[in-house]
Structure 1
Amino acid sequence: MNLLRKIRIHAVVAVILSTVVLLGSVVLPSERAYADAFIDEVDGAYQKLLDQYTKQYEEDKVEISEEYSWLHAILTGEQEHMARIVDADLAYLTELFDNDYNQLVKRYGSSREYRDKLATYKRQINPDYSTGALWKYKITINRDYSTSTHWKFDNEINPGYSTSTMWKYKNTTNPDYSTSTMWKYKNAVNPNYSTSLMWKLKNESNAHYSTSTMWSYKQGYLKLADARKKIDAILTNGSKDLQETRDQAVTSITKTRQDTVEQLFDLRDKTASAFLATRKDTLASILSIREQHFGSGLEVKPITISFDPIKVLINLKLMSFEQPPVIINGNTLVPMRAIFETLGASIEWDPEQFAVTATKGNQTIYLKIGEKKAQLNGKTIELGVPAQIVNANTMVPVRFISESLGGEVLWDNMTRTVVISR
């Protein structure tokens, strides 16, 4: 065999060997198209998963944020309700005792025997005299007086007061507060947050991400069947993990909200009780001195502080009614005039028909007391419960009225609140 022939044979052998090696790692054109189709399929499956959990997160974020806003509005509204009562009461007591003191001065002021008695009484009824009886009541109800009962409640419901109950709840629900429950949930579904669940799924599904399942398949290190089995398991388990992470986050935040509601509603009630107890002690002290020095007491009007068991929020404003809302057969009824006027409707009452007509823009509602049917722009609507009179107040079903006037109605069972937005 001459040298030229040997060279040719070696060349042919080299070509054959190189072809065999290439066939082990590179697929033919028809197989390449099939491989690309599988890669696209996995991309689509991942994208569907991303869209699903991103959408779920955004919906949860809105709902959780709304629930936080509702509770904050309820508590600040009830605080203002308390403050109005006790502030008006302090003004009433101050005027009552001032007038009484002036009458006593007219009667006993010229007598030296009563000079010290009048001075003692004056100190006790002076809301600005430190250690006086009325001063103690004044500082107890003063939210700006450090360490007062009202100051403590004000701070606990203040989301801007560090370490307060409301501050802790706010941060738990804040997706931008590092390490919070909502922050962890947000990052878990964020494909760009390193080491997150969604980041891992994105990389495993990415044929260009070195060492990933789909990269190994594209390089020919995994057969189609093996790659499909592996990526299916990864995406399925990943979906379960994402759902579990979401459920745990929502459960944790719901528990935090429940604890916050219980703690702050309890503190609200204790604050109101402290106001009344301090008032009682204040009056007992003042009236005892008056009777001891001047022979008789003084008639003082009582006050009560109560909170509606069923609340109504309209555009995050807590409503106050003389007649609280009631629930009848699962339907919440509210005072007609207050709701209509707050929602911007004008009202006409027909005493002969015992019926009301409410108008707002191009919407007209007509309903009669005691009937389970109403008219909305002339169309008959069935009501779950009829409008009715409760303690001389006309009560109407809030959902039908609000939605007919363009409002959205939700029910917050945890705080027993009708939430209306428009």
Structure 2
Amino acid sequence: MIRSLTAAVAGALLIAGSLPLGSGEALANSGFEQSIQSMYDAYEEKVTQTYAADKQRVQKEFQTFLDESDEDYRLLHDQTNADYESLQRMLDDDGEELESRYDSDDTLRKYLKEIDGDYLNSSMWEYKKAIDGDYLNSDMWEFKTDIDEDYLNSPMWEYENAVDPDYLNSALWEYENEVDPDYLNSALWEFENDTDPNYAGSIMNRYKRGKLSQAEAQKLIDEAKERTDNEISATRKAMLAKIESIRANTVKTVTETKTKSTASILDKRSDAEATISAIRKQLTGTGISFPALVLATREIKVIIDGEIQSFDQAPIQKNGTTLVPMRAIFEKLGATIVWNAKDQSVTATKEDTSIYLKIGSKTAKVNGSSVALAVPAQIVDGSTMVPLRFIGEALGAEVKWDAGTRSVIIATKA
């Protein structure tokens, strides 16, 4: 009787994890194992969702910049080529008129050669070559290849690879692998194994085999989770910083190339005008002037969480402040508005934040506190325009101006 009672007590203590356990595999607490598995599953879901959100953001930022760069190239290409065609028609007409007035002499022949865009090394040929994106090493070719993500070692190629998780050793590749439980020796792979009671030598396997008490196993699991969290956080921080550095360098390089190419193209156009005009003056006593070429630039872009926004009224800049349509921006940022037609004011609310703006006033209010504005809300072409940075920051978003891409970049904290 005493022996049976002692055995029963000892068995109860063993099950409770209060005594050192031997090989009693059946003595492990299945509820504890399940709680550890549930904890791991929740953690894996959290880090993979964070990775997915980061991946979506950086890839959207890349695609946005690629689209903007393509648009910049198209604008420059189309405008300069249209200008060349217009100049060529003007010069051809002038050449025909001069041929009817002057005998064919050396000066006339020289003039006709210089105005011929198909004549090798002529002034118009130099201009035509400069704006040809397919002509090797031309000004337009330099710009085109810099923004070509398929052109080996171009800035855009480097940027695209950085945000491609399938590109070996890229920043996103390293980040993705660290949060992949199937990638050998990744942080999540090691943590998953630690929580797996069937993985030989793991923390939970040692618990299951009675080598660790529940308290000891819990302590080791907590330490493993903290270690995993630190490793993943460090990798995430380093890889996102690497991507941002590559992005910034790409924007800088592409912007510089665009500026340099544009300036060189305009110089060649100016040189052609000067050379052609001088020869014509020798022949006729009067030169010739090219119509002014004013290159249009694309509109200011507003990018919220990686997506380019579309507004009925294009954003404008006044005194360094970007203004955007009132209703559209508040709605994009999740705020509701009430318009007071009588005093020309708007009150916008989002959660616990209230913003008050009055047309023409350089003072706004955020939760009742006055805030000075560099540029007031105002009506432009019938649309009520409000200062973007003030609105974004008042609603808790991060707002940055990217001069290279003429973009306002907003990251919400939703």
Q: What TM-score, normalized to structure 2?
A: 0.74
1:155-194 aligned at under 5 Å gives the runs: 155-194=145-184
Change (3 A) 1:296 1:310: same
- Which of 360, 378, 396 aligns to 1:387? It is 378
Q: Is the 8 A contact 1:172 1:180 kept in 2?
A: yes
Change (3 A) 1:190 1:413: farther
Measure, in 1, the Cα distance between the counterparts of 2:233 and 2:49. 12
Q: Is the 8 A contact 2:21 2:211 kept in 1?
A: no
Measure, in 2, the Cα distance between the counterparts of 1:194 and 1:77. 43
Structure 2 partner of 1:25: 22
Give the partner amino acid of 1:302: A
- Which of 59, 66, 82 aligns to 2:60? It is 66
- Which of 31, 34, 39 aligns to 1:40? It is 34
Q: Which runs of 5+ in 1 are unaligned?
A: 1-18, 344-364, 376-380, 400-408
Question: 1:282 and 2:272 equivalent?
Answer: yes
Structure 2 partner of 1:247: 237
1:313-392 aligned at under 5 Å gives the runs: 325-326=316-317, 332-333=322-323, 371-373=344-346, 385-389=376-380
Give the partner amino acid of 1:386: A
Task: Encode CA deviations 1:31-71: one digit per residue, 9 max, x unaligned.
Answer: 54xx2222222212211211110010010011011100110
Structure 2 partner of 1:361: none
Question: 1:137 and 2:127 equivalent?
Answer: yes
What's the CA shift for 1:299? 2.5
Q: Is the 8 A contact 1:190 1:196 kept in 2?
A: yes
Change (3 A) 1:279 1:28: closer
Measure, in 2, the Cα distance between the counterparts of 1:87 and 1:418. 30
Question: 1:293 and 2:283 equivalent?
Answer: yes
Q: Is the 8 A contact 2:196 2:204 kept in 1?
A: yes
Q: Is the 8 A contact 1:410 1:418 kept in 2?
A: no
Measure, in 1, the Cα distance between the counterparts of 2:21 and 2:309. 72
Q: Is the 8 A contact 1:201 1:234 kept in 2?
A: yes
Structure 1 partner of 2:84: 90
Q: Is the 8 A contact 1:197 1:238 kept in 2?
A: yes
Change (3 A) 1:163 1:395: farther
Question: 1:413 and 2:397 equivalent?
Answer: no
CA-based RMSD = 3.9
Measure, in 2, the Cα distance between the counterparts of 1:219 and 1:94. 88
1:108-257 aligned at under 5 Å gives the runs: 108=102, 111=103, 114-257=104-247
Structure 2 partner of 1:55: 49
Secondary structure at the counterpart of residue 126 of structure 2: helix
Change (3 A) 1:165 1:302: same
Measure, in 2, the Cα distance between the counterparts of 1:50 and 1:148. 51
Secondary structure at the counterpart of residue 323 of structure 2: strand
Compare CA radii of gyration and give the structure with the larger one: 1
Give the partner amino acid of 1:25: G
Measure, in 1, the Cα distance between the counterparts of 2:93 and 2:382. 37
Q: Is the 8 A contact 1:412 1:419 kept in 2?
A: yes
Task: Encode CA deviations 1:124-158: one digit per residue, 9 max, x unaligned.
Answer: 10111111110000000110112211011101101
Q: Is the 8 A contact 1:204 1:231 kept in 2?
A: yes
Q: Is the 8 A contact 2:179 2:187 kept in 1?
A: yes
What's the CA shift for 1:28? 9.5
Q: Which runs of 5+ in 2 are unaligned?
A: 1-10, 12-19, 329-337, 349-354, 358-363, 365-375, 389-396
- Higher alpha-carbon deviation: 216-225 or 307-316: 307-316
Secondary structure at the counterpart of residue 25 of structure 1: coil
Give the partner amino acid of 1:288: A
Q: How many residues align?
A: 354
The structure showing larger relative contact order (alpha-carbon pairs under 8 Å, at least 6 residues apart) is: 2
Give the partner amino acid of 2:250: T
Change (3 A) 1:151 1:135: same
Measure, in 2, the Cα distance between the counterparts of 1:82 and 1:43. 58
Measure, in 1, the Cα distance between the counterparts of 2:86 and 2:347. 45
